């Protein structure tokens, strides 16, 4: 069977078989595990006081410890340990009160020590779990728990740059020694969609906790993608590991390509090599980097320069007390206490910035209207998820988001709640607010954007419409109820769309009798 390197063919095969790959000799199942490296949020590195700021000039954030100068001893950064523990607690993992660091020995040109300080035998965080949500559109029919094997803390390497000079490579050691959490999943995922949902959920939790900023483009979070294939129900096959994948979309592409590549190899009589591979973004394919090492190849042994970590109960209590309300709990509260739909609750809790803006606007709107938050939550959620983003998108570069204050938006929602402005007028007012920063109430008053509730003016318009459409009046009174919409439309047209719909409906009902 010919090799299928085309991304389009790969995607079509996956979709057609519900993430079971249909080969020439039968179905294959994909088995996926992820090792996510998350840069710990800290101003200093794991074992030195050098800065971790992103974007600095090369080799300007390198301490003597990072450069492996003789006689320099590492000292653990308490904040990095704290953040790892808090992350473990957020995924309901076992926190190991006793752990230690090991040396992982290998030669990298961008790691001056010649070894990496990591954790193998006694990691700081043990087994935990993460729940991914059902998403029919994405191909996840029901909720699924993904097991997490461990979280260990280790130092990052530097960065080699090969494109600065035709015959030489340069090294930047600014990242060398930066603290990483390696979050290792169980091989529980069975589709690219599940893997994508796992990474998104994990990123969300890390950002809620504040232990990692989740910026995949800057390398703050990246994944090593382990993929193997097997006949459904068989033992696990030989896996490959694709290193340093830095977006959810690329993680899914790696799985789709690599799974199909392995099926083709096996069905052509070959064997899958256990190896480390790299992902080519331009072609959507993977290629061999080196043979995959096992733990014994790294000659791990306890780091003699570092004492074991022993965590006190008071430290653990402080870590737990510092945790915020996490995504699943917040989503449940939005549904149960605020009465939001599951969709709105999920969308509003997906990102830290989203729920932050929503909760600020909800508080401001409830105060402005004078109602409990639960009474206005649906109105605010619809505005935050649909109406406001639509207005911003329509304005494009004209939208000055500095003018999109919670106070201004709450004023618009309050006017709409009091039927002073319609939904369409609310959008018009918000457009002007974004362009100019003017007060919403002043805009509605001076720009003629308030609804007319004057019954006299509306009655006069209705009388003219009834007088001019006697035949339709008779049809309506004869039982043709659908004509009511005609009269509403004609009245709103006569009032230039400014009439209060509730008043129009009531007056029409009275007059048409």
Calculate the alpha carbon distances from 424 to 32, 382, 401 in Å.
48, 14, 20
The reply to whether 178 and 207 lie within a common domain is yes
Q: Model confidence at 189, in pLDDT bands (50, 70, 90)? A: very high
Out of 18-27, 43-52, 244-253, 326-335, pick the least confident: 18-27
With beta carbons less than 8 A apart as the criterion, state whether 255 and 30 touch. Answer: yes
Q: Model confidence at 453, in pLDDT bands (50, 70, 90)? A: low
With beta carbons less than 8 A apart as the criterion, state whether 361 and 347 touch. Answer: no
Q: What percent of the chain has pLDDT over 70?
A: 95
The CATH number assigned to the domain holding 487 equals: 1.10.10.410
The reply to whether 252 and 352 lie within a common domain is no
**Parallel, antiparallel, or unpaired: how do β-strands 179-185 and 98-99 relate?**
unpaired
The reply to whether 225 and 371 lie within a common domain is no
Can you tell me the distance from the alpha carbon of 184 to that of 118, in angstroms, rounded to the nearest whole number?
14
pLDDT (0 to 100) of residue 243? 94
pLDDT (0 to 100) of residue 503? 77
Q: Tokens standing for 374?
A: 């639960």
- Residue 273 in domain: yes
The reply to whether 129 and 192 lie within a common domain is yes
Q: Model confidence at 466, in pLDDT bands (50, 70, 90)? A: confident
- pLDDT top residue among 265 and 504: 265
- Residue 66 in domain: yes
The pLDDT of 138-159, averaged and rounded, is: 93
The pLDDT of 165-178, averaged and rounded, is: 92
pLDDT (0 to 100) of residue 173? 95
Number of domains making up the chain:
3
Please say which residue of 288, 313, 338 terminates a domain: 313
Strand 115-118: give its sheet, edge to edge.
Answer: 115-118, 102-105, 301-302
Residues 6+ apart with CB under 8 A from 199: 34, 36, 223, 248, 251
Residue labelled with tokens 């079509």: 12
- Residue 320 in domain: no
**Residue 226 β-bridge partners:** 33, 241
Domain span holding position 145: 8-313
pLDDT (0 to 100) of residue 485? 83
Q: What is the mean pLDDT of the chain?
A: 90
- Residue 331 in domain: yes
Q: Model confidence at 5, in pLDDT bands (50, 70, 90)? A: very low
Q: Tokens standing for 131?
A: 């729940």
The reply to whether 241 and 196 lie within a common domain is yes
- pLDDT top residue among 489 and 386: 386
The reply to whether 462 and 410 lie within a common domain is no
Out of 63-67, 104-108, 154-158, pick the least confident: 104-108
pLDDT (0 to 100) of residue 452? 62
Residue 504 has pLDDT above 80, yes or no: no
With beta carbons less than 8 A apart as the criterion, state whether 187 and 16 touch. Answer: no
- Residue 3 in domain: no
Out of 293-297, 300-304, 378-382, 446-450, pick the least confident: 293-297
Listing DSSP states for 110-172 in one string gives T-TTSEEEE-SSS-SB--EEEEEPPBTTTTB-S-EEEEEEEEEEEE---EEE-SSSSS--EEE
Please say which residue of 313, 347, 378 terminates a domain: 313
The reply to whether 408 and 341 lie within a common domain is yes
Q: Model confidence at 9, in pLDDT bands (50, 70, 90)? A: very low
Q: What are residue 487's phi and psi, to 5 degrees?
A: -65, -35
Residue labelled with tokens 């096959």: 237
Class of residue 295 by CB neighbours under 10 A (exposed 0-12, middle 13-18, buried 19+): exposed
Residues 6+ apart with CB under 8 A from 144: 131, 132, 188, 194
- Residue 23 in domain: yes
Q: Model confidence at 11, in pLDDT bands (50, 70, 90)? A: very low
Residues 6+ apart with CB under 8 A from 55: none
The reply to whether 240 and 307 lie within a common domain is yes
The reply to whether 106 and 19 lie within a common domain is yes
- Residue 322 in domain: no
Q: Tokens standing for 309?
A: 């970590």
pLDDT (0 to 100) of residue 187? 97
Residue 16 has pLDDT above 60, yes or no: no
Sign of the torsion angle spanned by Cα atoms 71, 76, 80, 84: positive
Can you tell me the distance from the alpha carbon of 231 to that of 30, in angstroms, rounded to the nearest whole number?
9
**Residue 128 β-bridge partners:** 148
Calculate the alpha carbon distances from 301 to 101, 128, 298, 310 in Å.
9, 25, 9, 19
The reply to whether 19 and 151 lie within a common domain is yes
> What are 410-420's pLDDT values in tens digits?
999 999 998 88
Please say which residue of 411, 426, 446 terminates a domain: 446
Q: Model confidence at 17, in pLDDT bands (50, 70, 90)? A: very low
pLDDT (0 to 100) of residue 3? 36
Q: Tokens standing for 356?
A: 């932050």
- Residue 2 in domain: no
Residue 326 has pLDDT above 60, yes or no: yes
Q: What pTM was computed for the model? A: 0.85
Can you tell me the distance from the alpha carbon of 453 to that of 495, in angstroms, rounded to the nearest whole number?
11
The reply to whether 220 and 139 lie within a common domain is yes
The reply to whether 302 and 421 lie within a common domain is no
């Amino acid at each position: 069977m010919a090799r299928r390197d085309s991304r389009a063919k790969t995607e079509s095969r996956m979709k057609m078989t519900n993430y079971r790959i249909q080969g020439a000799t039968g179905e294959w199942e994909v088995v996926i595990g992820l090792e996510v490296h998350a840069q710990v949020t800290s101003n200093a590195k794991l074992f030195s006081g050098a800065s971790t700021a992103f974007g600095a000039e090369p080799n300007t954030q390198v301490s003597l410890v990072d450069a492996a100068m003789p006689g320099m001893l590492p000292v653990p950064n308490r904040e990095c340990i704290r953040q790892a523990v808090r992350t473990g607690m957020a995924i309901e993992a076992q926190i190991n009160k006793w752990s230690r660091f090991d040396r992982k020995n290998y030669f990298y040109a961008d790691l001056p020590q010649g070894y990496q300080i990591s954790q193998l035998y006694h990691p700081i965080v043990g087994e935990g779990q993460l729940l991914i949500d059902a998403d029919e559109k994405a191909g996840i029919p029901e909720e699924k728990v993904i097991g997490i094997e461990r979280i260990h803390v280790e130092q990052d390497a530097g960065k080699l740059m090969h494109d600065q000079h035709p015959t030489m490579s340069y090294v930047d050691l600014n990242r060398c020694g930066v603290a990483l959490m390696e979050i290792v999943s169980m091989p529980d995922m069975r589709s690219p969609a599940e893997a994508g949902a796992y990474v998104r959920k994990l990123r969300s939790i890390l950002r809620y906790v504040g232990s990692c900023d989740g910026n995949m483009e800057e390398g703050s979070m990246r994944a090593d993608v382990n993929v193997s294939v097997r006949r459904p129900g068989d033992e696990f096959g030989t896996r490959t590991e694709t290193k340093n994948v830095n977006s959810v979309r690329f993680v899914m592409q790696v799985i789709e390509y690599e799974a199909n590549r392995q099926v083709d190899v096996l069905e052509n009589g070959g064997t899958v090599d256990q190896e480390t591979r790299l992902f080519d973004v331009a072609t959507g394919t993977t290629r061999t980097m080196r043979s995959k090492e096992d733990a014994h190849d790294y000659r791990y042994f306890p780091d003699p320069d570092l004492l074991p970590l022993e965590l006190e109960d008071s430290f653990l209590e402080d870590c737990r007390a510092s945790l915020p309300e996490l995504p699943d709990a917040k989503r449940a509260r939005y549904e149960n206490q605020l009465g939001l739909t599951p969709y709105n609750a999920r969308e509003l809790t997906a990102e830290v910035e989203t729920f932050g803006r929503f909760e600020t606007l909800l508080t401001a709107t409830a105060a402005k209207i004078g109602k409990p938050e639960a009474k206005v939550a649906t109105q605010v959620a619809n505005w935050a998820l649909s109406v406001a983003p639509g207005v911003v998108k329509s304005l494009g570069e004209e939208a000055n988001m500095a003018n999109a204050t919670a106070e201004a938006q709450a004023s618009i929602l309050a006017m709409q709640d009091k039927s002073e402005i319609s939904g369409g007028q609310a959008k018009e007012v918000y457009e002007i607010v974004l362009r100019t920063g003017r007060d919403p109430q002043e805009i509605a008053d001076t720009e003629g954007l308030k609804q007319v509730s004057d019954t006299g003016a509306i009655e006069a318009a209705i009388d003219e419409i009834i007088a001019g459409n006697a035949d339709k009046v008779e049809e309506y009174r004869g039982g043709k109820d659908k004509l009511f919409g005609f009269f509403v439309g004609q009245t709103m047209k006569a009032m230039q769309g400014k009439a209060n719909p509730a008043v129009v409906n009531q007056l029409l009902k009275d007059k048409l009798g």
